[in-house]
């Protein structure tokens, strides 16, 4: 039961958030209304819940939320070998809270419970769905699957977590260093005294990856210790004094220099006019009004000076390190800015290969979490490898391998239906690899209708001359599939499947469909095999499934001339990466012409059993729209891929350059004309985390810049190494580059930890399209394994110039 509470919000939310009144109140004002305080009070008090690890592994534990340190805690196992196991989940690491059977563990347990109930209808339910809820957390999207004693308790916990997540993630997005430091201070204050000694402060700074001179640090510590408090005879600072100590240690010469340049004669404050000049001259902002500058001062300056329209160094630093001055053009982050009324063939589409896998192609698990993850990341084409399953219901897995299975019904109901349009409202493609018998194809069609029938695109393609636009297809799901299959091929991987489980002599080739939109009631048809003098006997797929395939019918490729002659804009062909590169080498202009009319899908070679990735850039350069990568692998190719699709509001669609749409030949890329000048100055780094488990190690960071796109635009650069400083390393190195095809170019900033012996260790990176870099002084927010590194950034200065103006 939910606990009724008369506590005020200030007693529910942690003090280290509430104390930052202006920013916290901004967050609250812009966030959805919080749930009843009773929900938050209930999770704070806690409850006894059952944890499921599998259908037959249940553990009874007490769970509660520590709102001071923002953690979900639970009682540890009493078994001695579990004593060192982590016994909490950070609220900041929680991705979702779901009510019901919405994870792989619960779906399996639920099916078993329903089977037992079917055998004995009088038996009380072993597992009630309305008592179950799941917490999804960590970069691997692990699920903590819990069962409450009653439905109200389960619902209360889900509402409570969603409320906490809203506030914590909103505050994290604002990147308040003071809130972050207070949280670290509270964690370091083991005895709860509210103060830290000099040695304790030094230990905390070591955790922050900062190597300090003890003598110099002690002088700053004494300056910060205003209250002259002592604990056990030693000087100690409270949270506010620790923040002052920290800020004295953190020197940002580049920000201070800029501030002095545009401040008044005394150098102590900046007027609205000085700020306006800075924004126009350094940040390339146009026609900045005085009112806008005053608004920034009021928003970012923490001191009373803001009431007099003056900005201090602290306020200027807060402005410079805010999301407003991140490297990605602000207009591209959260809104669609491109024309979305072109035919689908005019767009690049974020696409996933073997979406269901969590790891390699041979032994990893299949999971609905893999689908949810890519959909949340803006992916617009996901793959379903369909095989006959037990009990007459189809499953998804990588055929003839040791990968796990996941029921199609679970993927449809728990991943696709709720998450298809959470991140992007533009059309979602389901790419089917159909190995099902006719009976299970019919079952699949029924499952699709039940789960997403109202979302399906069911267009008539008989007279279609060009594909519909993403705008026309908003909130629609499109099925990509073959309409005809080889007789007897459903229980074995077709040698022409584009999702082969092992290396194949002819990867990527698909069966030849009929040339018009026939009814599946038509008889079996013999069609010639392009690779053989023998005929292949094909039959239509199940009628209900057949009728769901329209604007994305998968066909075998018989050459560019053949496709042009047929002129079926709704046909799509798939190529392995190697076959596609051969076609690009042989017929690049024909490839470009083809992709102005029809979709093309490119997928990894069957030999990539570790789920490695290939470079998408050669394929984008000829207009290939559906370049499918293994999202489950955080490779350098995937980092570049994510960077490319950060533009246009991360909606999963990017309009091609005009020269890949207009059929203008020769292509502009074949000329030696330079289009863009780019200069990047790598200035400094902030809060770079440690790599590895050695708590006493300090990173030796350096930065690399890599540009990929058109082959003529490939570029790389590396700074020197800064020894023993992950806290605030300073490089101040610049590089210039000229680009021929900036529309396709992606720049990646990578920070690594230099090693005396062995390869450098990856710290974090960030990629984005070159055309959407913001000029001026910017911060690059680092990402690792697809997750932001809290407060870890590099500071750069950017100068850009279009050379064709």
Closest C-alpha among 801, 802, 782 to residue 793:
782
Angstrom distance (rounded) from CA 463 to CA 749: 48
Of the residues 353, 490, 619, 772, only one is catalytic, namely 353
**Tally of CB atoms within 10 A around 492:** 12
Residue 654 CA to residue 125 CA, distance in Å, equals 49
CA distance 668 to 646: 25
CA angle at residue 663 from 657 to 665, to 5 degrees?
A: 100
Backbone phi, psi, residue 288, to 5°:
-70, 125
Helix, coil or strand: residue 802:
strand
Nearest Cα to 771, choosing from 661, 658, 675, 704? 675
End-to-end CA distance of the chain: 68
Contact 53/82 with Cβ under 8 angstroms? Answer: no
Cα–Cα distances in angstroms (integers) from residue 642 to residues 310, 375, 651, 789, in the given order = 40, 13, 12, 16
Strands in 614-657 per DSSP E: 626-629, 653-655
Tokens of 540: 């239509």
Q: HSE on the CB side for 90, CA within 13 Å?
A: 10
Q: Name the percent of the chain in helix, strand, coil, to the closest 5.
A: 35, 25, 40
Q: Is 137 a catalytic residue?
A: no
The CA distance from 174 to 151, in Å, is: 35
Please identify which residue in the block is written with the tokens 């009070």.
Answer: 41
Long-range contacts of 554-558, Cβ-Cβ distance < 8 Å, separation of 24 or more: 554/480, 554/481, 554/482, 554/510, 554/513, 555/482, 555/510, 555/512, 555/513, 556/496, 556/509, 556/510, 556/511, 556/512, 556/513, 556/530, 557/509, 557/510, 558/512, 558/530
Q: Is 398 a catalytic residue?
A: yes
**Residue in 568, 584, 489, 479 with CA at minimum distance from that of residue 529:** 489
Residues contacting residue 747 through CB under 8 Å, at least 6 positions apart = 643, 680, 705, 706, 707, 767, 768, 769, 770, 773
Strands 347-349 and 351-352: unpaired
- Asked if residues 559 and 587 have their Cβ atoms less than 8 Å apart, the reply is no
Q: What is the DSSP string of 41-57?
A: HHHHH-EEEEEEEETTE
CA distances from 502 to 400, 498, 554, 599, 669 (A): 9, 11, 21, 26, 37
Q: Please, which residues have CB within 8 angstroms of residue 81's CB and are 6 or more apart in sequence?
A: none
Among the residues of 263-393, which ranges form H helices? 272-281, 290-300, 313-320, 330-333, 368-376
| CB distance 555 to 513 below 8 Å | yes
C-alpha closest to that of 98 among 67, 66, 141: 141
Here the tokens at position 303 are 């001191």
Residue-wise burial string across 436-470, b where 16 or more C-beta atoms lie within 10 A, e elsewhere: bbbebbbbbbebbeebbeebbbebebeeeeebbbb
CB-CB contact of 317 with 295 (8 Å): no
* Catalytic one of 16, 137, 346, 398: 398
How many CB atoms lie under 10 A from the CB of residue 152?
Answer: 14
Q: How far apart are CA 569 and CA 553, in angstroms?
A: 10
Report the chain's C-alpha Rg in angstroms: 29
Residues that are catalytic: 353, 398
């Amino acid at each position: 039961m939910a606990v009724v509470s008369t506590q005020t919000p200030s007693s529910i939310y942690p003090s280290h958030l509430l104390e930052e009144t202006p920013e916290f109140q901004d967050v609250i004002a812009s966030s959805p209304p919080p749930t009843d305080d009773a929900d938050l009070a209930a999770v704070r008090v806690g409850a006894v819940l059952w944890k499921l690890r599998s259908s037959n592994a249940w553990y009874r534990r007490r769970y509660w939320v520590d709102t001071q340190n923002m953690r979900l805690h639970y009682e540890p196992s009493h078994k001695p070998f579990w004593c060192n196991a982590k016994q909490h989940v950070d609220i900041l690491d929680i991705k979702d809270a779901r009510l019901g059977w919405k994870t792989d563990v619960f779906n399996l347990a639920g099916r078993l419970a329903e089977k037992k109930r079917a055998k004995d209808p009088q038996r009380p339910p072993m597992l009630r769905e309305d008592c179950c809820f799941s917490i999804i957390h960590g970069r691997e999207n692990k699920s903590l699957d819990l069962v409450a004693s009653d439905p109200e308790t389960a619902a209360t916990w889900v509402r409570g977590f969603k409320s906490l997540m809203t506030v914590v993630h909103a505050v994290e997005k604002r990147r308040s260093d003071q809130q972050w430091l207070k949280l670290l201070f509270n964690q370091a204050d083991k005895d709860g005294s509210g103060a830290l000694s000099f040695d304790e402060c030094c230990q905390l700074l070591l955790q922050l990856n900062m190597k300090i001179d003890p003598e110099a640090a002690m002088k700053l510590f004494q300056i910060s210790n205003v209250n002259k408090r002592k604990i056990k005879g030693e000087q100690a600072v409270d949270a506010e004094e620790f923040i002052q100590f920290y800020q004295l240690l953190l020197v940002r010469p580049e920000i201070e220099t800029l501030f002095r340049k545009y401040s008044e004669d005394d150098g102590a404050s900046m007027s609205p006019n000085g700020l306006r000049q800075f924004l126009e001259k350094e940040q390339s902002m146009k026609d900045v009004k005085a009112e806008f500058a005053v608004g920034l001062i009021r928003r970012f300056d923490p001191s009373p000076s803001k009431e007099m329209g003056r900005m201090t160094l602290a306020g200027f630093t807060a402005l410079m390190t805010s999301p407003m001055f991140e490297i990605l053009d602000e207009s591209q982050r959260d809104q669609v800015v491109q024309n979305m009324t072109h035919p689908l063939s005019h767009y690049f589409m974020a696409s996933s290969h073997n979406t269901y896998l969590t790891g390699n192609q041979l032994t990893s698990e299949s999971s609905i979490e893999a689908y949810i993850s890519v959909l949340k990341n803006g992916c617009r084409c996901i793959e379903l490898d369909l095989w006959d399953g037990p009990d007459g219901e189809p499953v998804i897995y990588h055929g003839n391998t040791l990968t796990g299975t996941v029921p199609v019904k679970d993927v449809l109901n728990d991943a696709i239906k709720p998450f298809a349009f959470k991140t992007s409202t533009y059309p979602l493609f389901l790419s089917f690899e159909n190995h099902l018998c006719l009976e299970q194809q019919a079952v699949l069609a029924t499952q699709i209708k039940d789960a997403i029938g109202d979302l399906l695109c069911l267009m008539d393609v008989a007279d279609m001359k060009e594909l519909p636009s993403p705008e026309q297809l908003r909130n629609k799901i499109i099925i990509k599939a073959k309409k005809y299959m080889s007789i007897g091929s459903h229980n074995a991987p077709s040698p022409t499947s584009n999702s082969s489980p092992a290396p194949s002599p002819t990867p990527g080739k698909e069966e030849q469909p009929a040339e018009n939109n026939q009814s599946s009631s038509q008889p079996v048809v013999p069609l010639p095999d392009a690779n053989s003098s023998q005929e292949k006997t094909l039959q239509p797929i199940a009628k209900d499934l057949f009728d769901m395939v329209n604007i994305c019918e998968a066909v075998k490729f018989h050459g560019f001339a053949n496709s042009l002659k047929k002129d079926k804009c709704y046909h799509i062909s798939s190529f392995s990466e190697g076959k596609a590169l051969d076609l690009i080498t042989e017929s690049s202009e024909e490839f470009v012409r083809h992709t102005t009319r029809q979709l093309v899908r490119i997928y990894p070679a069957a030999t990539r059993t570790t789920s490695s990735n290939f470079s998408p850039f050669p394929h984008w350069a000829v207009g290939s729209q559906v370049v499918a990568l293994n999202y489950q692998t955080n490779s350098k190719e995937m980092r570049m891929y994510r960077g490319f699709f950060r533009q246009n509001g991360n909606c999963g669609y990017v309009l091609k350059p005009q020269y890949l749409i207009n059929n203008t030949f020769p292509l502009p890329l074949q000329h030696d004309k330079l289009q863009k000048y780019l200069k990047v100055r790598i200035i400094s780094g902030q809060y770079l985390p440690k790599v590895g488990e050695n708590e006493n190690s300090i990173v030796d960071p350096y930065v690399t810049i890599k540009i990929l796109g058109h082959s003529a635009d490939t570029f790389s650069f590396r700074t020197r190494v800064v020894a023993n400083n992950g806290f605030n390393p300073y490089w101040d190195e610049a590089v210039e580059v000229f680009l021929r095809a900036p529309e396709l170019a992606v720049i990646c900033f990578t920070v690594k930890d230099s090693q005396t012996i062995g390869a450098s260790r990856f710290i974090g990176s960030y990629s984005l399209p070159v055309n959407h870099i913001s000029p001026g002084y910017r911060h690059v927010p680092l990402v690792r394994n697809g997750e932001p590194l809290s407060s870890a950034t590099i500071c750069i200065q950017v100068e850009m110039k279009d050379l064709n103006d």
